[in-house]
């Protein structure tokens, strides 16, 4: 599914104008600990999070995240919006909570894009 379809699905509101809505979303990842996201998320996932600080966008940028969903209608501070704007990552606010969002997206066929931390790629013991 692409970002614009994702927005429809979660009754989301796009917060930043400068975003790539045609980008393909290949799966989901829900977490509030950014290090965990960085450890496990694969490229092109949608990140669901309850955090609103600019680090969410930075993390998304580092980890090649396709879109960010802020749960429970959260409104992020301006620095977060500005950063999403300049990095062209869709920042979406959804009225649903994290539990509901994981459930709905899972149901819609989006599967987890988190890999087990002991992946062979980076060949490093946990």
Partner 1 sequence: MNLKEIIDNLHLEPVTVPRNFAEITPTCGYTSDLLSCVMSGAAHQSIWVTLQAHINIVAVATLLDLSAIIITEDAKPDEATIAKANEEGINIFLSKEPTFTVVGKLWEMGLRCQ
Partner 2 sequence: MSNSATNQGKNITDQQAENITRVEELSYELKVDQVMTKELITVTPETEMKEALEIFRKNRISGAPVVKNDELVGIVSIEDLIHCLQHNDLDSRVAKYMSTKLLTVRNTDPIIEALKLFVNSHFGRLPVVDENSKLLGIITKGNITRGLLAALQHDYQEEEVRRYRASHLFEDIESDRSSLILRYTIKQGDFTHGGAASSAIKRALLRLGASPQIARRAGIAVYEAEMNLIIHTTHGGIIRVEIEPHQISINVFDDGPGIADIDQALRPGYSTATETVRELGFGAGMGLVNIQRCVDSMRLESIVGKGTSLKLKILLHDQEVVGEGITTSKE
Q: What are the residues binding partner 2 (CB under 8 A)? A: 1-2, 4-5, 8, 17-18, 20-24, 32-36, 38-39, 43, 49, 51, 53-56, 58-59, 61-64, 79, 87, 117, 122, 124, 126
Burial 14-50 (b: 16+ CB within 10 A, else e): bbbeebeeebebebbbbbeebeebebbbbebbbbbbe
**67 near partner 1, judged by CB under 8 A:** no
- Least distance between partner 2 and beta carbon 120 (Å): 11
Q: Map tokens 């989301």 to a residue.
A: 12
**100 near partner 1, judged by CB under 8 A:** yes
98 interface partner picked from partner 1, partner 2, none, CB below 5 to 8 A per type = partner 1
**What are the C-alpha distances in Å from 101 to residues 21, 93, 94?**
19, 11, 8
**What are the C-alpha distances in Å from 9 to residues 57, 69, 107, 120?**
22, 12, 11, 34
13 interface partner picked from partner 2, partner 1, none, CB below 5 to 8 A per type = none
Which CB sits closer to partner 1, 88 or 117? 117
> Which residues make Cβ contacts (< 8 Å) with residue 58, sequence separation at least 6?
83
Rounded to 10 degrees, the C-alpha dihedral 68/106/29/57 comes to: 0
**75 near partner 1, judged by CB under 8 A:** no
Number of residues that bind partner 1 (CB under 8 A): 29
| List of residues contacting partner 1 (CB under 8 A) | 27-33, 36, 40, 48, 50-51, 72, 97-100, 102-107, 111-114, 116-117
């Amino acid at each position: 599914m692409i970002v614009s379809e994702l927005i429809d699905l979660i009754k989301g509101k796009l917060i930043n104008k400068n975003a790539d809505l045609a980008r393909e979303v290949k799966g989901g990842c829900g977490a509030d600990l950014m290090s965990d996201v960085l450890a496990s998320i694969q490229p092109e996932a949608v990140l669901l999070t309850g955090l609103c600080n600019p680090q969410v966008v930075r993390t998304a940028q580092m980890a090649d995240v396709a879109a960010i969903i802020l749960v429970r209608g959260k409104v992020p501070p301006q620095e977060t919006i500005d950063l999403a704007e300049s990095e062209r990552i869709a920042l979406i606010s959804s009225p649903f909570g994290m539990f509901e969002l994981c459930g709905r997206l899972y149901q819609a066929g989006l599967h987890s894009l988190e890999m087990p931390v002991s992946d062979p790629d980076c060949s490093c013991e946990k």
